[in-house]
Structure 1
Amino acid sequence: MPIHTVTKRYNQFLLPFLFFFILQIASAQKKPLRLFLIGNSFSQNATHYLPELSKEGGHELIIGRAELGGCSLQRHWEHAAAAEANPEDEKGKPYKDKSLKMLLSEGTWDVITLQQYSKISTDLSTYEPYATKLYEYVHKLQPNARIVFQQTWAYRSDSNDFGQLTEGGEAKSEQEMWEKSRTAYRTTAASLHTVVIPTGDAFWQMSSNPKWAYHKDKNFDFKNPPPATLPDQTHSLHVGYSLNKDKLGFDSHHASPAGCYLGALVWYSFLFQESPVKLTFVPEKVPADFAKQLRKTAWATVKKDLKASAH
């Protein structure tokens, strides 16, 4: 399906949903926002600094989590289905010996997020029927919650995993992974009359900006790296290269402190419908000028969705 067609369909649902969402948040602004995440390490990354930002912005935030490393929509659903079939089945209680139903029943949640496993996020066929099953299951348990999707981000431009994603969603570059996963998320969200938190869009806005993008160190010998030495990774939103007992490790998937900061800024902008540009909290390892650009990009990305929905 062409991206412009997906965007048009997505925007048909975006404006009324966000308008209602804003009214709900505004009416409850003196109450804590209760946020529940059904995800994996990417949801952990994206919300790592959200408590600090929320506190500075004057918003009380309570976060609940049902997260498993590398977990897909299918796997989350299969755990939930196992618990429904037999509450004593260990498969149904993978979240520290609790089921999704048990966790969701621990309170009333305002916003609940879903996301796909990044390695299959480019393949639309992997989302269904599990996205719909999870959405309907969660809605039944928490009928007043806003259920949305987090749009996960593409891997770093120098990742070795491009071309090795699932056949139906194979991507050969960071841009292609962003484009295909974006289409899959928005197609799925539109079919369920909901929206996405555009974390992946914000990552790509930074990665496609010549001034702020990460560029692989051309002066570093990656085949024979010097002992206890790292390449220049300025502006990397991903963990990238790290040292473990003087050995060079590489993670092109997960977010670095800067990427975690960007993710949290996007979530802050989306959840509270306000700019994070004037917030002063910055993670220790993120340079001030880069942090400033990340704040601007996060707000511009969320605002773009709002503006597009008006047309």
Structure 2
Amino acid sequence: MLVNTAVFRIRAFVFFLLLFVSRVAVSQTGAPASSDSKKNGKPLHVFLIGNSFSGNAAKYLGELSEEGGHALTLGRAELGGCSLQRHWEIAEAAEANPDDPKGKAYNGKSLKMLLAEGVWDVVTLQQYSMLSGDVDTYQPYAKKLVDYIRKLQPSAKIVFHQTWAYRSDADGFGQIAAGKLAQSEKEMWEKSRAAYHTIAHELGASVIPVGDAFWRISSDPKWAYRKDTGYDFAKPQAPSLPNQDHSLHVGYSWKDNKLGFDSHHASAAGCYLGSLVWYGFLFHESPVDLKFVPESVPTDFAAQLRKTAWSTVKKSGKGVKN
């Protein structure tokens, strides 16, 4: 009797140990499994279908991946200001006639040609930022593209890159419904976040939460950008610029003796934050201790961006399809 009881206890212990190990092994980020890129040097192959925002968000991904010991291969189908609709129309034109120049919009290549250049582990999609808050602009193009990618790259994990809202002092914000624009950075973030997650849920995809990370910085009392109210915007004098500390967007700059303003695209700090989020999402690994920092990003701000990127990735993993 004592022997049987001992055997039962041992078997119960082994069962619960195996159950624990199996649960720990499950990814908590909803991201693609990619540990092989570090364990055996096998590159993670990632293909980006996007525009200048995907270029911004992955700008420093190569440097971060190299420092982290992860082999990475990137492929790109990017066109400035390109929407999901336009990407699909380009693919559709190439399918109808492979020789049609309209179907070879990516430096003389079609989307099919570019996807055929490798076996991709991850393929990312994103909406044009001006339309990102209007869920009606995503379909049917998102589904058509997802179906197309799955046909050409059946083993690839498809994810949506959640883009960011424009800077708080922008002259205008993105569309949230037909004929209606967001009235603030916060509203643009809220509506675009909801749209990305709605579409990702419908299509069984994950979301890279770059937009969430941007908003966490933009809404932080200590780290948020604040417009310089002491600068004379009515009569600016080159090369003087307003204070733009902690800006994740390009903002003001001088060109040809004219003061320009870009409230949409990411600054070096914004590109760094985006790349940190991608790193954490793709490799299931914290970027907090990485040393690489773009030259123009202050050390203390860079440290906060690393922490914010990782905490955002971890948080999104619990409800990536919500």
TM-score normalized by structure 2?
0.88
SS across alignment from 2:34: helix
2:145 counterpart of 1:131: no
Q: Which residue of 1 aligns with 2:63?
A: 52
2:67 counterpart of 1:37: no
Bigger radius of gyration, 1 or 2? 2
Q: Trace 1:192-207 onto structure 2 (pairs within 5 A).
A: 192-207=203-218
Deviations 1:167-219 (A, max 9, x none): 36620000000000000000000000111100000000000001000000010
Letter of the 1:54 partner, please give it: S
2:2 counterpart of 1:26: no
Number of aligned residue pairs: 296
Contact in 1 for aligned 2:176/2:188 (Cα 8 Å): no
Give the deviation of 1:159 after TM superposition.
0.2
Q: Which residue of 2 aligns with 1:149?
A: 160
Q: Which residue of 2 aligns with 1:11?
A: none
Q: Which residue of 2 aligns with 1:224?
A: 235
2:277 counterpart of 1:272: no
Q: Which runs of 5+ in 2 are unaligned?
A: 1-25
% identical equivalent positions: 65
Contact in 2 for aligned 1:125/1:168 (Cα 8 Å): no
Q: Which residue of 2 aligns with 1:294?
A: 305
Taking the aligned partners of 1:201 and 1:290, their CA distance within structure 2 comes to: 17
Give the deviation of 1:229 after TM superposition.
1.2
Taking the aligned partners of 1:25 and 1:173, their CA distance within structure 2 comes to: 37
Contact in 2 for aligned 1:79/1:91 (Cα 8 Å): yes
2:187 counterpart of 1:176: yes
2:120 counterpart of 1:98: no
Of residues 249, 252, 276, the one that matches 1:241 is: 252
Taking the aligned partners of 2:176 and 2:256, their CA distance within structure 1 comes to: 30
Q: 1:230 to 1:166 in 2, by over 3 A?
A: farther
Q: 1:284 to 1:25 in 2, by over 3 A?
A: same
Contact in 1 for aligned 2:37/2:71 (Cα 8 Å): no
2:99 counterpart of 1:84: no
Contact in 2 for aligned 1:169/1:180 (Cα 8 Å): no
Contact in 2 for aligned 1:90/1:97 (Cα 8 Å): yes
- Larger deviation, residues 249-258 vs 156-165: 156-165
Q: 1:310 to 1:179 in 2, by over 3 A?
A: closer
TM-score normalized by structure 1?
0.91
Taking the aligned partners of 1:127 and 1:136, their CA distance within structure 2 comes to: 14
Give the deviation of 1:164 after TM superposition.
6.7
